Structures are given as structure tokens and as C-alpha cells.
Amino acid sequence: MKPIYIPKRDFDRVRHIDRQRAWRARLFADMCRINTLYMIQTAGSGHIGSSFSSLDMATWIYLHELSLGDGIEHAYFSSKGHDCPGLYSVLMACGLLSFDLIHGLRRLDHLPGHPDVGTPGIVANTGSLGMGISKAKGMVHADRLQGQNGRRVFVMLGDGELQEGQIWESLASAVYSGMWEITAIVDRNRIQSDTWVDLTSPQGSIEDRFRACGWRVESVDGHDFTALESVFAAVAEEREVPQVIIAETRKGNGVEKFVHTVAPSEDIPYAYHSGALSQVDYDHALRELRERVVSLFAEAGAEAPQFLTGPGKEPVVSAVNIQRLLPAYEKSLVELGDEIEEVVVLDADLKYDCGLGAFANRFPERFFECGIAEQDMVSRAGAMALKGLLPVVHSFACFLTTRANENIYNNATERSRIIYTGWLAGLIPAAPGHSHQGVRDIAALTGIPGLDLVAPSCVAEIPMALNYAAKVTSGSTYLRMTSMPTSVPYALPESYVFTRGRGCELVSGSDVVLTAYGPIMLAQAFKAAELLAKDGILAKVMNMPWLNVIDEGWLKKQTEGATCVVTIDDHYVDGGQGCRIAASLIRSGLSFERGVHLLGVNEIPACGQPQEVLEHHRLDGASIASVVKKVVKGA
Amino acid sequence: MKPIYIPKRDFDRVRHIDRQRAWRARLFADMCRINTLYMIQTAGSGHIGSSFSSLDMATWIYLHELSLGDGIEHAYFSSKGHDCPGLYSVLMACGLLSFDLIHGLRRLDHLPGHPDVGTPGIVANTGSLGMGISKAKGMVHADRLQGQNGRRVFVMLGDGELQEGQIWESLASAVYSGMWEITAIVDRNRIQSDTWVDLTSPQGSIEDRFRACGWRVESVDGHDFTALESVFAAVAEEREVPQVIIAETRKGNGVEKFVHTVAPSEDIPYAYHSGALSQVDYDHALRELRERVVSLFAEAGAEAPQFLTGPGKEPVVSAVNIQRLLPAYEKSLVELGDEIEEVVVLDADLKYDCGLGAFANRFPERFFECGIAEQDMVSRAGAMALKGLLPVVHSFACFLTTRANENIYNNATERSRIIYTGWLAGLIPAAPGHSHQGVRDIAALTGIPGLDLVAPSCVAEIPMALNYAAKVTSGSTYLRMTSMPTSVPYALPESYVFTRGRGCELVSGSDVVLTAYGPIMLAQAFKAAELLAKDGILAKVMNMPWLNVIDEGWLKKQTEGATCVVTIDDHYVDGGQGCRIAASLIRSGLSFERGVHLLGVNEIPACGQPQEVLEHHRLDGASIASVVKKVVKGA
């Protein structure tokens, strides 16, 4: 069936049903689950497991803990941020966020894929993990200075998130400053992105660790509303130290099929971490939730709520020659492992998102799952490299290149050889929002001697790049990888030889040179060239996979005689490849009648569907063509 | 008296004195202290307190724990790294490092200011804090894979260093992997860079925190060799979990005057953290150490050791108009605090190195000492900014911009206003070595929308930059600050108006344009211009304080008609200002008969004294002049 949602007025009715608070909250939360699923199905992506896991607690907090009648508006936010579809559903149900936005999860100018303060009701940008308690402390510092004494801050943490060192870095000083205003909640559903926490990187006794830092520790069943009522009442009395509530929960709670039921000793990937549901799963989940909701309304003698359908999804744009870099990389990595026994693979809880399953299965003793601990992972890799191994280190580009930035540089100063592979690089997919868009990885990895940055343009270029990184260079390499399956309307020339600092021509043309890298922007450049050709402008499209290395003599030959050069970055313009190309051209003594123009991202990237976000940043083929036309015609 | 040292042969004699191991180790360590002081006095800088604190343990480990007769060479390294003068003295005394290097601490091609694997006996680059246990884990992973089973790794941590989140991030998985091979030692001297740990950011029960992660915890008096012998014997039996030895120590131990004796409740800066001693202090320390050493030799009936003087220090080069940016900033910050009550100041245990003492004294409630916890500090600041405060966040450039890289970006996506101030930026001083040289901060902070990077050229430009950051821009600003007192042979023009994207001419000239920023490189550019003038080449020297923002029209006017443009970065060329200037010039349609040339750092920066390091990187005035001459003459 089509995705359905429950309108605001039915939530309002629930708040007035004459039942116990726990009974009402339970119903409210299940109704929010239905709306959460509606949003995720409409968006085509979003985190179900995490949303459902923390939803009962978020519901309770918004219904009963933020306005305690003391005249103070207390604050709540989710540090993990992945549960924001669930959070949005609660905010909308409580009237804190416009209900119309229910149709716009992960769409341009609507609801971002991770929390952003531009959204009403959201008080901190999260989704980058581990920052929550630090932010809560900053809020309390400010409240105290500004005379808002007694304002409490509730912050939701994931139990996988506890692997991030900043959490533990932030604990002790909250005690030193006597921050009783802070209540952290650990949503201990025991499953992280890939599988069980205890099979990824178990964290010892979380209770004892918090306690050893001086925190008050409480435990609760995070789905038992009566117990929640008690535990929040207990911590509300605390006036000396910060508190943490360790909540035992079930990832995906609310729909039995979404709850992991195998034993924690069995390493089975959790299927409902992110992404929309299959039609079968959606129908199944909706049936279960609706039955429960309807029966609770009936139990209270109230009329059943409405179940509405929305305006429906955007039609999917058809695309040709879709390429998936992920399986191609997965295959190449195994081949590399077969060939070079020193190859070891490190991961930060993104085994499936980084294409590491096959390697892990084939070489379990050479696969190191580090959990969500990028700094630790990168420093471990550094030591392994010094001992003669060849580590290949993985995470999403946005996390790997920034969270472990000092660690990557420290490794570089040891002059060892390491391969860093950053997935989810670039503007697209833009649906997860700016915490997950890797549009400053090139900049962040700049100024690291011996580190080459390479972006494969298509499936065929992956083994070439890996081969270079593993066998040709004696330095380190960063592979910048596109996660989104992409229509690739070009092919590498048959004569192409992958050569440091050089690229290749994908489309020939004599008027204008367009440079780009990676499949997303190369496809747009290709499209731009097609459009320009209709206007009689012949654009040469160059694949430039080397992001921080340019063979100046070669580039000079490729560009000499053109009217203008237009560089396209799948990255902020500042610190991107275009800046380096422009510098190289003037160093080569070239000038162009119509100049050199740098396209790319110039503001915090928008969240949304691929085409709308490309258009928003004027990086779609048509926008690029229109810029080039203006430049060429001198308009 | 002149610095003196004890030669290798006297250490060899000690190893054969017929006394107990503890007795011999005690004497050996005090002799190493004499040599440590020799190195630091000769270098003019180095960390005495930290070296003396861990020296007894390092001595014991090298004498008795690394070769246990099991045919395995076990490994030791210091994660804090600041104690490396002490470590070098032990390595030399044990014959693991050429003794001649004793004369070359912090000198080019000799002994780096922090550990580097290029030095024999050093197994990991450290000095960037918090990475030690992660590195130890990587070593064990590699040893196990490579069949070096049973090889143990000893890693020394500072107790201040425990504030760094990566330490806690790295603990649990060492237990999950059963890494009994690792023995961490916490040098708990209870004092960090500025003052007592307990007045900076006390860390709760360290013992309980390690234990809650599953580590075996032992305690010991870190200066009692008999106790050390026992505790190392105990942990040598462990075959299941990693161990930590919490060693109670005294910072500066070995010379009573260096030991902090006030109560931990009194916030008195520790005077012997870094830097060479005054002559009085040196004479005093030497007398105390020498007397003890001589009497122990006598006690054993052995001939007294030799006390030798070295070749002596390099003569100090005289300099004119020395400017110190630090006190000027300190003063401006207090003025800003007086004027704007929303200004709050955050620090990461570098209060005195960042010029924050006056602000902290005047506005104690608006000063937040975060300890060595850069990520936590930056995220706290983010939340404070969202609440309407104006945080000014401090650390050394190398740590602030990299360790907290994702946090700074996360704050930027909240579109709030924050001032980040990074000290110790640039190539000079180079004596602390590459972990502390801030030569990639511009790159690391690139691609952050709304963040302007500004480098004041001299004392006079500091209030202008602070004024811009606090009152003019609605975005955030990074102030790139030079810590080294610098000879400033130029002055800002009287007509100078500090304007976003623009700079000013410091020396006029019509042939060549030299751009630079910050006092170190501007002084070299100034010198280059003087030298060029003698050859009839008129160089214009431009102060370009805006590192990532260029007013293109203005720059065009400033450069048009020149034969060539030469940019000078106090930073890696890759990702530095020069790249942006070059890109700007070609975008403006300019070309230059003799081209555009980018100077700056192109390899891992050397450690050494200012002039020798500038010359090594060909960034001293004479080298710059010679490059320009070649370019102009077309040779």
C-alpha cells in the first residue's frame, strides 16, 4: 500500500484521553512510528532502527519532561542524530514543527537528513557522532552565564556512539563543573550500523565508566513508560552531578520484524539500520503498528485515528549505464589481498557501506573492525604500516578526513605507506545532509606531504587507482569514492594509461575545456557538453582523477588554445581541485581569452534529492552549460 | 657554569658496579638527568619537568624490561613525547643512539624536539597527544600477524594526556583483542602544561576508568626502583588483558627546586614545563645532581665520573625591533572582554602560551579551561555561540585545526560566530619539531563556509583583526598567530585600513611583487627586497593577512604590470595562500612575463634553530632573493 500517516488532530486527541500518562505515551509513540515510516518511505531513505529504538524515550521527554511547570523550557537533542525521522515525528505531533513538513524528509528546503538548527525545535547540529555531551556542557555554561539557572539539557546518545573518544573526553569536566543540569540517555539497543556492538567493539562496563568519571548512573527499560516516568522523576531531584540513564532498548522496537532476535554471538548484518523498506516490509510493519494503534483507541472508547496518504513520491528518473563503485572496489580489494599478503583492512563500523564484506570473509585475520573510533583506527594503521604491513583504512570521507585529521598527518610524518579510502564523498547523495556530505575532504587532506588524493571516475578506474596506491607509490594515497550508483555516459579511452598527475579526455572539443572528477560531476560535465554542442560550442571534457597532483606540462598541452577553462569540483571551490588547476595554468604561463572559471560548492551544501541539489548549487549539466555559454559569449 | 655532561663510558661502568639493580638504576637515572639538562641548555629549549618525571621509569625499562632473555626485543615509546630529552639521554647512555648527538638537541639533522622514527631507537612519532595506546595496538596487531608472538610494548602516557579523548577511545578494544602484550604507564605527576591537573580538568578515578574498560591496574611509586622492579615483574606474568601501571611521580623529580610543592588547590603556574633554565637554576640543579652522583660513585668505591663541557651554544644573532604578538593579543583580548560582555574565552591547557592569563584573572567566570581536550572545547564553544555568546577558542594551531577539525566544521554548519585563535602557527619556531609546527592549518581549515582566516603581520594589526572578528563579520574567524618573538623591520602604512580580502604594501617596487603574511615570512620578504635592490631589482613587498579571501579587483591593481609575482607561504605550498593568489590572478585575466611562483614548505618541516630551518627550506631572505633573481633574469 501507499505510505500513510496520521494527522496532527489525532495526536491532540490522544493527549486528552483519560488514561495514565504511560498509556497515552505508548500510543503516541506508536503513532509517531507510523509517521516516521511514512517520512522514510516518502524520502526513500532514513534510519528506521535508531528512530524506533529511541522513540519511546523521545516521546516521553517531549510530553512530560521539557515543561515541568517551573517556567523554564528545558532542552532536548539527539547527539547521534540518526534518529531524527523519529524525532521529527514527535516534534510535529507536539506542534513544535510544521506538520506539512511530514511530506518533505530529506528534500530541499524541508527536513534535513540529520538535525540542523535551521529546523524549528532542533537546538544543535548533530549526526557527526560524539559531540553531544560537549554541546550540552556549552549550553549549560551559557545558561549559567546568562542567568537561565536550572535549565536542564537532555541529550540522547547511541551505544555505538560511545565508541567515539569525544564522549569520554567530555565526561569528567561536567562533574568538575557540577553540571547536574545534564541528563544523558544512552539508547543501548546493542546494535550499531553493521552488527552487534559486542561483536564490533565492546566498550567494557559503560555504567562503571560513567561512574568512574563521577556521573550518577541510572538504568531503565527504554520501552517501559512506567519505568521511564520513575527514572526521570529520580534524576530530576539530582542537584550535584550530571546523570546518565542507561536505557535498555531494542533497535527497531515497535515492529517485531525490525528487532534483531539472533544471539549477540552471531554476526548477522542488521537489515533496518538505514534505507527505506521494501513494499513487503512496509506493508507488514504498517499492519502491525496500525492494529495496535487502532486497538488502543478502541480500548479507550475513542474513535480510530485517520490514516492518510500523501502526495506520493517523485517519479524516478531513468538513467543509462548505472555504475556501482562499491562492488567493484570490494572485488578489487580482495584481489589485492590475494596478491599482497601484507594488505590489512581497517574499518570504522561501515563494513557494508565501504565494500569490505568480501575481504573480511576471505581474510578474517587481516580484517580489523575498529568500531566508530576513527582516530584510534588511523593511529593503529600508522603503527601497522611502520611494521611493514599495508593498511587500507575505511570510513565515510566526511568522518575519516576530519575526525582523524591530526592522526593522518602524524602517520604521514612517519613516511610510511597507507591507503585511506573515503566513501560517500562528494555532494551526492545529499539526502543525509551536511554532516555526511564529503565536500571538504580534499581541503582537509591538503598539505600532507606524500599523500596523493585520487578520485576514480568509474568502475574501470578503481583497480588502476588501487594498483597505484599499493604498488607504484611509496607514499600514501587517499581514494575518494562515490557511493551513489551513478549513470556513467562515458568510457575511459582504450589507450588510457593511469599516470600520476594526468587524466584523460572523455569528450573532445576545441572551444572550451571542462575538467571534473568522479562519476557524479563527470556525468554533469558530459551532459553540459551535449547541451553546448547544440549551441555550436565544442567542449572538451577531461577526467582529472588526481586531486592534488598536476602534471603541469601535460595540462598545458591539454588546455592550450582553448577559449576558456572551466573546472568543476564535487567539493567546496575553496580548497578543491579547481584552485590547483588554475594555479597550475598561470604557473605554466597560460592565459585564456575567456578566462578560467571555478565551479563547485560555495555554501553549506543543501540536503535533498540528487537532481534538486545539483540544480540548487548550479552544478547540474544544464546550469554548467549555461555558465559556459555566458562565458564564451562574453555576456 | 657551562652546561656539562657525563660521557658514555661512565654509564658503562655503572652497569658493572656490584650493587642491586635498583641502586644502579637510581644512579644511572640521575646521570641521565645531568645529560638531559645539558641537551636542553644547549638547545635553549625542551621539557625538563616531564623528562625528569618519567626518567626513572624509562631508565628501569631500558635497563631491565626490553631484553628479558627470551630472545625478543620488546618495545618502548613515549606517547606524550614531551619527555624525549630524557628518553634520548637514556638511549644514548644505553648505546642505542649515537652519543655525539648529545650536542644536537633540536638542531637540524640531529635530535628532533619530539620523537621521530628517523631517530634510532624511536619507534613512533609522538608529541601529538593521545595516540600512544592506539599505536601500541597497531604494533601488536602487526606482531601477531607477522609471527612475532609475545613481543611486548610499553607505552608512557602523561596524566594530563589522559584528558585527550583518543586515550579512552583506544582502551576497550585492547581488551576485546586480549592484548596482554601492552603495558601502559601513566606518569601521574599531577601537573600539566599550565598547572595542577586537578585545577585544569580532573579526570575522575583513572584507576576505575581503566578497570571499567577491562584493563589490569597496578599502582607504584614511579621513583622507587625497588617498587618498579616488583610491579614490572607482576605485569610480566599477565597473559590475558592489557595492563596499566599508574605511577605516582613528581614533575621535575631529581632536583627539589623543580618539584611543585604548593598544595594542589593553589593555582601557581609550573615554571619548569618547557624552556631552558636560567643560569642560576642550572647551576643550582647541577650542584644537586652532581653531588648525589659523585657520592653514589664514592659509596660504591668507584672513581667519580667525568663531567665534560661541550662545544657551546651558537652565538645569538642580534635583531632589531623585536615584536611579541603574545602580550599584545593578551591586552587586546582583555579590552574586548571589557567592551563585549558576551565574549568568553576557552583554552586547552595553554593559558600562558596563548596569552590568556590577563583575561582569566579579570573575567574568571568567562574563562573556561577545558584541559587537553580540543574536540570537547570546540563543541562546547559551538553550543555557547548558538546561545548568543562570542567564544574565543585557543590552542596551538597544529592541534586546534586538526584534532578538532570535524568539530569546527560542525560549528560552521550552525552558522554561528566563533573566533578560533591558533598560536605557534608557521614554520618557526621549528625547535619543537613537526608535531608542533603549524604549517597546514590554512589547508585544514579550508572549505569551511563562513570562516575567514587572518594572520596579523605585527602587533599593530592584532586589534584590527580582533575587531573584525568580533564586530564586523557575522561569520567565524581563525586568527593565525606567531608565537616566536620576531624582528619586524617594517611598519603598516599610516593610511592602512584593515579591509576584508585586501592587504597593504610594506615596500614599494615596480619589478616584482612579493606576497607574504605574518611577521616571520614578511621579515624574510623584506630582507629579500633589500638584497634584490642591490642588484637593481625593485621588489614590492605586500602584507596579505587574509589567507582564504582575496579581493580580486584590488589584487589585480596591485600586481598589474609586474614582471612576476612570487608568493611566500609560512605553510605548505599545497593548500596555502599562494595557490589562492595564483588562482585569483588567472581569474582576473592577468599574466606575467616571468610568471607566478609559489614558495613555501614542500616537505615535512625540519626541526632546528630558526635561521638554519629557514635556510633548509629556502625560505630565508637570501634564498628568496636568489630565486627571484633567477626568475627575473630568466636564468
Is 70 exceeded by the pLDDT of residue A314? no
CB-CB under 8 Å, A366 with B145: yes
Nearest-CA residue of chain A relative to B572? A447
In a domain, A496, yes or no: no
Nearest-CA residue of chain A relative to B198? A176
In a domain, A498, yes or no: no
Q: Do the bridges between strand B4-5 and strand B308-309 make them parallel or antiparallel, or are there none, so unpaired?
A: antiparallel
Residue A137 and residue A272 in one domain: yes
pLDDT-derived band of residue B457, with 50, 70 and 90 as boundaries?
very high
What is the number of alpha carbons within 13 Å of residue A288 lying toward its C-beta? 15
Supply the pTM of this predicted model: 0.97
CB-CB under 8 Å, B548 with A125: no
Dig out the grid coordinates for A197 from the structure.
Answer: 556492538
Chain B residues in contact with A205 by the CB 8 A cut-off are 212
Residue B305 and residue B327 in one domain: no
Chain B residues in contact with A142 by the CB 8 A cut-off are 383-384, 387-389
> Number of A:B CB contacts under 8 A?
365
Chain B residues in contact with A604 by the CB 8 A cut-off are 412-413, 415, 449
Residues A412/A453, Cβ–Cβ less than 8 Å: no
Residue A461 and residue A536 in one domain: no
Residue A113 and residue A201 in one domain: yes
Residue B475, C-beta contacts closer than 8 angstroms, at least 6 positions apart: B415, B417, B450, B451, B452
In a domain, B493, yes or no: no
* Residue A355 φ/ψ, nearest 5 degrees: 70, 45
What is the number of alpha carbons within 13 Å of residue A420 lying toward its C-beta? 40
B232-251 residues labelled b (16+ CB within 10 A) or e (exposed): beebeebeebbbbbbbbbbb
The count of residues in chain B is 635
| Domain finish residue from A418, A452, A487 | A487
Chain B residues in contact with A444 by the CB 8 A cut-off are 405, 443-444, 446-447
CB-CB under 8 Å, A444 with B405: yes
Residue A420 and residue A285 in one domain: no
- Average pLDDT (A194-201) is 92
Tell me which residue has cell 600532507. A448
CB-CB under 8 Å, A379 with B135: yes
Strand blocks (E) in A286-325: 308-309, 322-323
pLDDT-derived band of residue B320, with 50, 70 and 90 as boundaries?
confident
Amino acid at B552: E
User: What is the CA angle A351-A356-A362, rounded to 5?
Assistant: 125
In a domain, A268, yes or no: yes
Nearest-CA residue of chain B relative to A594? B589
User: What is the CA angle A438-A442-A447, rounded to 5?
Assistant: 145
Residues B513/B566, Cβ–Cβ less than 8 Å: yes
Is 60 exceeded by the pLDDT of residue B596? yes
Among residues B168, B63, B232, the alpha carbon closest in space to that of A371 is found at B168
pLDDT tens for A418-428 read 999 999 999 99
What total number of domains does chain A contain?
Answer: 3
Nearest-CA residue of chain B relative to A585? B586
Chain A residues in contact with B368 by the CB 8 A cut-off are 141
CB-CB under 8 Å, A204 with B175: yes
Residues A359/A367, Cβ–Cβ less than 8 Å: yes
Give A131 to chain B, closest Cα distance, Å. 6
pLDDT tens for B338-366 read 999 999 999 999 999 999 999 999 999 99
In a domain, B498, yes or no: no
CATH number of the domain enclosing A546: 3.40.50.920
What is the number of alpha carbons within 13 Å of residue A276 lying toward its C-beta? 18
Dig out the grid coordinates for B146 from the structure.
Answer: 607477522
- Which residue range is the domain that position A47 belongs to? 4-309
Residue A515 and residue A445 in one domain: no
In a domain, B497, yes or no: no
pLDDT tens for B74-121 read 999 999 999 999 999 999 999 999 999 999 999 999 999 999 999 999
Residue B476, C-beta contacts closer than 8 angstroms, at least 6 positions apart: B411, B412, B416, B417, B418, B419, B420, B448, B450, B451, B452, B469
Dig out the grid coordinates for B82 from the structure.
Answer: 614531551
What's the sign of the alpha-carbon dihedral A133, A137, A140, A142? negative
Q: Name the residue facing B208 among A208, A402, A403 (closest C-beta).
A: A208
In a domain, A497, yes or no: no
pLDDT tens for A583-601 read 999 999 999 999 999 999 9
CB-CB under 8 Å, B446 with A444: yes
CB-CB under 8 Å, A387 with B142: yes
pLDDT tens for B132-170 read 999 999 999 999 999 999 999 999 999 999 999 999 999
- ipTM for the complex? 0.97
Is 70 exceeded by the pLDDT of residue B432? yes
Pick among A117, A129, A133, A135 to test the B interface (most B CBs inside 10 A): A135
What distances in angstroms separate CA A557 from CA A529, A553, A580, one per listed residue?
20, 6, 16
Q: Rounded to an integer, what distance in angstroms lies between the CA atom of residue B603 and that of residue B617?
A: 8
- With a pLDDT cut of 70, the percent of chain B lying above it is 98
Residue B517, C-beta contacts closer than 8 angstroms, at least 6 positions apart: B455, B457, B480, B503, B543, B544, B545, B547, B570, B577
Residues A370/A391, Cβ–Cβ less than 8 Å: no
User: What is the CA angle A498-A499-A503, rounded to 5?
Assistant: 75
Q: Among A310-324, A525-539, B540-554, which stretch is predicted with the lowest mean pLDDT?
A: A310-324
Residues A165/A204, Cβ–Cβ less than 8 Å: no
Pick among A148, A159, A341, A380 to test the B interface (most B CBs inside 10 A): A380
Number of H helices, E strands in chain A: 22, 20
Is 80 exceeded by the pLDDT of residue A318? no
Give A462 to chain B, closest Cα distance, Å. 25
Q: Do the bridges between strand B153-158 and strand B182-188 make them parallel or antiparallel, or are there none, so unpaired?
A: parallel
DSSP tag of A486: E
Residue A492, C-beta contacts closer than 8 angstroms, at least 6 positions apart: A457, A458, A460, A461, A504, A506, A543
Residue A372 and residue A437 in one domain: yes
Residue A271 and residue A332 in one domain: no
By the 10 Å C-beta count (0-12 exposed, 13-18 middle, 19+ buried), A460 is classed as: middle
DSSP secondary structure string for all residues of B187-219: EE-SB-SSSBHHHH---S-HHHHHHHTT-EEEE
pLDDT-derived band of residue A80, with 50, 70 and 90 as boundaries?
very high
- Average pLDDT (A521-539) is 97
In a domain, A404, yes or no: yes
What average pLDDT does chain A have?
95
* Residue B631 φ/ψ, nearest 5 degrees: -65, -45
DSSP secondary structure string for all residues of B243-287: EEEEEE--TTTTSGGGS--S-TTS----TTSSSPPPHHHHHHHHH
Residue B540 and residue B420 in one domain: no
Nearest-CA residue of chain A relative to B144? A365
Chain A residues in contact with B563 by the CB 8 A cut-off are none
Give B8 to chain A, closest Cα distance, Å. 29
Among residues B490, B469, B487, the alpha carbon closest in space to that of B479 is found at B469
CB-CB under 8 Å, B590 with A585: no
By the 10 Å C-beta count (0-12 exposed, 13-18 middle, 19+ buried), B393 is classed as: buried
CB-CB under 8 Å, A135 with B169: no
Give A58 to chain B, closest Cα distance, Å. 21
CATH number of the domain enclosing A247: 3.40.50.970
How many C-beta atoms surround the C-beta of residue A467 within 10 A?
15
Residue A326 and residue A366 in one domain: yes
Q: Rounded to an integer, what distance in angstroms lies between the CA atom of residue A383 and that of residue B170?
A: 14
CB-CB under 8 Å, B371 with A173: yes
Amino acid at A453: L
Give B215 to chain A, closest Cα distance, Å. 9
Residue B341 and residue B471 in one domain: yes
pLDDT-derived band of residue B445, with 50, 70 and 90 as boundaries?
very high
CB-CB under 8 Å, B380 with A135: yes
CB-CB under 8 Å, A375 with B134: yes
Q: Name the residue facing A582 among B116, B203, B587 (closest C-beta).
A: B587
Give A367 to chain B, closest Cα distance, Å. 10
| Domain finish residue from B280, B309, B338 | B309
Residue B515 and residue B466 in one domain: no
Amino acid at B340: I
Q: Name the residue facing B212 among A139, A212, A443 (closest C-beta).
A: A212
Dig out the grid coordinates for B350 from the structure.
Answer: 595553554
What pLDDT shows up at residue A626? 97
| Domain finish residue from B256, B285, B309 | B309
Give B199 to chain A, closest Cα distance, Å. 9
- Find the largest Cα–Cα distance for chain A: 83
- With a pLDDT cut of 90, the percent of chain A lying above it is 94
Nearest-CA residue of chain B relative to A171? B203
